């Protein structure tokens, strides 16, 4: 099983559109949406949810009103301003509570419980292109890096159990903790970038990250024909970092039409779909004898 993680230096480069089409081309694959902060792969794949598992991370303070004596000691120690008193009743606003636990220590009456915080849920679904492991983060839910790690662990387990050829991972944007959780020990990364000045900067950062974690990278430029000169710069940068350019996807209105219909562009055809098909053929060499 080869694991390909699709990344971009930032959101909005077309990463998920490309991954949706690769999923359609792959045939036998397990899919994972690790972009848990802004999951949108489900919009293209329209999954049928089969399993749900709650995800807990950190803690939150909850005042037990039967035990609270109303002394007010907990209010000034909360730097988040999460504890308020209304009509003599002290309560914690869950969205403001950072889970530091200081109020629990300060309360001499033991009136503050400190349960694990439910931050979201891990979902297992069926799609027309294969099983999808994804997640839903609660509003204000934290520890998305941990949730990404859980999505990936489950997707890897499922891929091994089913004996599929590919695990295709939609990675989070940026270079933070969730990205690191999604790429370590992958077979390869495909970076989807765009020909803009910020695209150049973002590509440099994400390639540095791949290099740091020893994961081979490939690069494809989306909407390359909007700025051919910058596309050439992006590809030169990729080559200088041992990341082979493997595709130039042209600007194509079919991509937008496919998004509106909730389908991968590969199902509509057109110049972008044709180039993504060639891109997929070029990606078949990853994880080969060369180890790249």
- SS3 state of residue 55: strand
Q: Could you tell me the two tokens for 137?
A: 């983060």
Indicate which single residue of 1, 37, 49, 98 sits in contact with ligand SF4 (rule: CB under 6 A): 98
By beta-carbon proximity to ligand SF4, the closer residue of 66 and 290 is 66
- C-alpha to C-alpha distances, 208 to 194, 218, 227, 263, nearest whole angstrom: 17, 13, 24, 33
Indicate which single residue of 11, 58, 101, 250 sits in contact with ligand SF4 (rule: CB under 6 A): 101
Length of the chain: 292
By beta-carbon proximity to ligand SF4, the closer residue of 105 and 205 is 105
By beta-carbon proximity to ligand SF4, the closer residue of 67 and 253 is 67
- SS3 state of residue 133: strand
Indicate which single residue of 1, 49, 62, 100 sits in contact with ligand SF4 (rule: CB under 6 A): 100
Contact between 109 and 69 (Cβ < 8 Å): yes
Instruction: Please report how close the Cβ of residue 119 comes to ligand SF4 at its closest, in angstroms.
Output: 15
Angle at 181 between CA 177 and CA 182, to 5 degrees: 120
- C-alpha to C-alpha distances, 188 to 91, 109, 167, nearest whole angstrom: 48, 54, 11
Q: Which of 23, 284, 13, 220 is nearest to 133 (CA)?
A: 23
Instruction: Please report how close the Cβ of residue 108 comes to ligand SF4 at its closest, in angstroms.
Output: 7
124's enclosing H/E stretch is: strand 116-127
Instruction: Please report how close the Cβ of residue 35 comes to ligand SF4 at its closest, in angstroms.
Output: 28
Instruction: Please report how close the Cβ of residue 55 comes to ligand SF4 at its closest, in angstroms.
Output: 19
Q: Is residue 233 close enough to count as binding ligand SF4 by CB under 6 A?
A: no
Q: Which of residues 53-82 bind ligand SF4 (CB under 6 A)?
A: 61, 63, 68-74, 77-78, 80, 82
By beta-carbon proximity to ligand SF4, the closer residue of 101 and 250 is 101
User: What is the pattern of x (binds ligand SF4, CB under 6 A) and - over residues 187-216?
Assistant: ------------------------------
Q: Which of residues 110-139 bind ligand SF4 (CB under 6 A)?
A: 111-112
- From the centroid of its chain, how far is CA 244? 23
Q: What is the DSSP string of 145-187?
A: HHHHHHHHHHHHHHHHHHT-SEEEEEPPSSSSHHHHHHHTT-S
Instruction: Please report how close the Cβ of residue 37 comes to ligand SF4 at its closest, in angstroms.
Output: 21
Instruction: Please report how close the Cβ of residue 90 comes to ligand SF4 at its closest, in angstroms.
Output: 4
Instruction: Please report how close the Cβ of residue 111 comes to ligand SF4 at its closest, in angstroms.
Output: 4
Q: Which of residues 241-280 bind ligand SF4 (CB under 6 A)?
A: none
By beta-carbon proximity to ligand SF4, the closer residue of 81 and 269 is 81
Question: Residue ranges of the alpha helices (H) in the chain?
Answer: 15-26, 41-45, 74-77, 102-106, 144-162, 177-183, 197-212, 228-240, 253-261, 271-283
Indicate which single residue of 44, 83, 237, 238 sits in contact with ligand SF4 (rule: CB under 6 A): 83
Q: Name the residues that contact ligand SF4, by CB under 6 A.
A: 61, 63, 68-74, 77-78, 80, 82-83, 90, 92, 97-103, 106-107, 109, 111-112
């Amino acid at each position: 099983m080869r694991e390909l993680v699709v990344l971009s230096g930032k959101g909005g480069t077309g990463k998920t559109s490309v991954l949706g089409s690769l999923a359609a081309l792959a045939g036998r694959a397990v899919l994972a949406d690790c972009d848990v902060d802004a999951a949108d792969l489900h919009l293209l794949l329209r999954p049928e949810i089969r399993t749900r598992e709650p995800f807990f991370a950190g803690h939150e303070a909850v005042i037990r009103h039967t035990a609270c004596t109303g002394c007010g000691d907990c209010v000034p120690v909360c730097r988040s301003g999460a504890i308020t008193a209304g009509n003599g009743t002290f309560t914690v606003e869950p969205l403001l509570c950072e889970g530091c636990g200081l109020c629990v220590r300060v309360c001499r009456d033991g009136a503050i419980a400190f349960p694990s915080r439910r931050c979201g849920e891990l979902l297992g679904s069926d799609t027309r292109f294969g099983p999808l492991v994804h997640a839903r983060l609660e509003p204000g839910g934290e520890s998305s890096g941990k949730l990404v790690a859980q999505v990936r662990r489950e997707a890897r387990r499922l891929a091994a159990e089913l004996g599929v050829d590919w695990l295709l991972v939609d990675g989070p944007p940026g270079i933070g903790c969730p990205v690191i959780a999604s790429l370590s020990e992958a077979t390869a990364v495909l970076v989807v970038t765009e020909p803009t000045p910020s695209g150049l900067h973002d590509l440099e950062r994400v390639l540095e990250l791949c290099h740091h974690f020893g994961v081979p990278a490939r690069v494809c430029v989306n909407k390359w024909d909007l700025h051919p000169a910058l596309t050439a710069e992006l590809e030169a940068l990729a080559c200088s970092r041992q990341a082979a350019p493997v595709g130039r996807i042209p600007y194509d209105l079919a991509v937008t039409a496919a998004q509106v219909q909730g389908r991968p562009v590969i199902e509509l055809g057109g110049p972008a779909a044709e180039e993504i098909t060639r891109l997929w053929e070029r990606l078949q060499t990853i994880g080969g004898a060369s180890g790249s």
